[in-house]
Amino acid sequence: MSAARRRPPEAEEAPPDWDAAQDALADEAVRLALERSREAAARLREAGIARAGPRGVAGLRRVAVLAKDDLPDLQAAQPPFAGMLGVDLGVLRRIHRSPGPINDPEGPGADYWRMAPPLRAAGFERGDVVLNTFSYHMTPGGHMMDAGLRAVGCVVVSGGVGNTAAQAAFASGIGATGYVGTPQFLLTLLERAREDGIPATFRRALVSGAPLPLDLRRLLEESHGVSVFQAYGTADAGAIGYECEAKDGWHIAPGVVVEVLDPGTREPPEPGEPGEVVVTSANPVYPLIRFGTGDLSMFLPGKCDCGRTSARLAGFLGRVGEGVKVRGMFVHPRQLAEALQGVPGIRRYQGTVTEENHRDVLVVSVEPAPGQPPNLDALAARLREAARLRVEVRAVKPGTIPEDAPPILDLREG
Ligand SMILES: [Zn+2]
């Protein structure tokens, strides 16, 4: 396995007082939004904020969150950007479209989405030849990474999506040492190269756009010798988080204020509880105030010893709306999947939440695979650890759980 090139963080990644830097960034975002975004200015005024001033992140608490899921309707009512664009339309470089559909502006200047810090933290350097397999067509992913790679000084190989055999041969033939794209497609390329007898040349990868389960990371790193780093971002907010060489959570990216809020109460959850990632961005082209990404994560305790002073997120923990609250604890399908992943003897499973005597009960039904009865007590222990509450496990007859059953079914009334 190739080790990460250890490089000191940039100054913007390591302000001496990170919380104070977040407060200053929040104030700057409010100033820009009041001046440039009709949409954000309206929400700020509703919360009693009519002019810029030193309020910090805490000053945003009363401002309503704008859900990313509401953007398609807002943009359709007020095309193309729902009053959120901070510059004249003619200043933009490009307009992209994300699934939703959502129109995404690309402002002027190099590295509009600030992808260079994640790439540098992953060890990418000037002169590296890097295959970019995000789409360049309509959706912004290809351009987001392309701009960051160019800002770092890398040579970009514009692979785009698909064409596995051709891309594997192309990347190997020109000796590309770097990869950016989804982790699944990296595995597909590496396996294809192996099958076709093509020497693999990738040494490091920055992956994004899809979850990276531990077993996939191990396969890529240990079986294929590629050092894998994750980045997290959206077309609206740019880079939001990324891994350093410690690979222990996602550092908050420079340029954004990140809050984690309980999706129900919109208040910070208890420490160790997941919540929605809500982003505020001091981007003069597209200022965002409390933009609810719909992604779930939580803050990790303590600081990383890489030198970056930023807080870290615990990675992707699912999407808002997929989880349920059980006895006050948020339970997400991913937690069940992680607990049951790789356990032999399970054909299918489903969690159901019911109420008995005014108490929530989470039962996980398990269809055993033929001839391999799983140990139900061991399963219950794994699930209890993953969900942080008591879980009952029941074996059910094969065929009981439909193939397309939702992973968690909420059967409580009201
Ligand atoms: Zn670090």
- Look up the CATH number of the domain holding residue 260: 3.40.50.12780
User: Is residue 60 a part of any domain in this protein?
Assistant: no
Same domain, 333 and 191: no
* Cα–ligand 1 centroid distance for 251 (angstroms): 7
Distance (angstroms) between ligand 1 centre and the Cα of 363 equals 38
Whether 294 and 229 map to the same domain: the answer is yes
- State in Å: Cα 309 to ligand 1 middle: 8
Whether residue 177 sits in one domain with residue 214: yes
The pLDDT of residue 307: 95
Do 268 and 346 sit in the same domain of this protein? no
148 inside domain? yes
Distance of alpha carbon 259 from alpha carbon 291, whole angstroms: 10
> What tokens does 95 get?
């307009």
Total of domains in the chain: 2
Q: How many whole angstroms separate alpha carbon 178 and alpha carbon 276?
A: 32
Q: Per-residue pLDDT tens for 236-248?
A: 999 999 999 999 9
Q: What is the whole-number distance in angstroms between the Cα of residue 311 and the centre of ligand 1?
A: 9
Single residue among 313, 343, 364 that ends a domain in this structure: 313
Domain boundary among 282, 313, 344: 313
Picking from 278, 313, 348, the residue at the C-terminal end of a domain is 313
In a domain, 43, yes or no: no
**Same domain, yes or no: 182 and 287:** yes
Please indicate, yes or no, whether residues 266 and 129 belong to a single structural domain of this protein. yes
DSSP SS3 for 410: strand
CA 140/CA 103 separation, integer angstroms: 10
Instruction: Say if residues 349 and 365 touch (Cβ distance below 8 Å).
Output: yes
For 53, 105, 142, 163, 340, the CA distances from 146, given in Å and listed in that order, are 36, 16, 6, 19, 37
Shared domain for 251 and 398, answered yes or no, is: no
Please check whether residue 218 lies inside any domain of the structure.
yes
Please identify every stretch of the chain with a pLDDT value under 70, giving residue numbers as ranges: 1-5, 414
User: What's the pLDDT at 102?
Assistant: 94
Q: Report DSSP state, residue 59.
A: G
Range of the domain at 342: 324-410
For residues 307 and 331, membership in a common domain is answered with no
252 and 392 assigned to the same domain: no
Side chain identity at residue 408, one-letter code: I
Distance CA 336, CA 111 (A): 38
Domain assignment of residue 398, yes or no: yes
Whether 252 is covered by a domain: the verdict is: yes
CA of 107 to the centre of ligand 1 (A): 29
- Please tell me the predicted confidence (pLDDT) of residue 385: 86
Do both 146 and 216 map to the same domain? yes
Amino acid at 211: P
Would residue 33 count as lying in a domain? no
> For the purposes of burial, counting CB atoms within 10 Å of the CB of 402, is it exposed (0-12), middle (13-18) or buried (19 or more)?
exposed
Q: Are residues 263 and 361 located together in one domain of the fold?
A: no
pLDDT attached to residue 409:
86
Confirm whether pTM is higher than 0.85: no
User: Are 188 and 286 members of one domain?
Assistant: yes
CATH of the domain at 388: 3.30.300.30
Whether 271 is in a domain gets the answer yes
- Cα of 97 vs centre of ligand 1, distance in Å, is 32
Distance 307 CA to ligand 1 centre (A): 7
Instruction: Tell me how far apart the alpha carbons of residues 14 and 52 are, in angstroms, rounded to a whole number.
Output: 26
**What burial class does residue 8 get, using C-beta atoms within 10 Å of its C-beta: 0-12 exposed, 13-18 middle, 19+ buried?**
exposed
The Cα 122–Cα 9 span in angstroms is 11
CA of 226 to the centre of ligand 1 (A): 19
Name the burial class of residue 148, with classes exposed (0-12), middle (13-18) and buried (19+) by CB atoms within 10 angstroms of its CB: buried
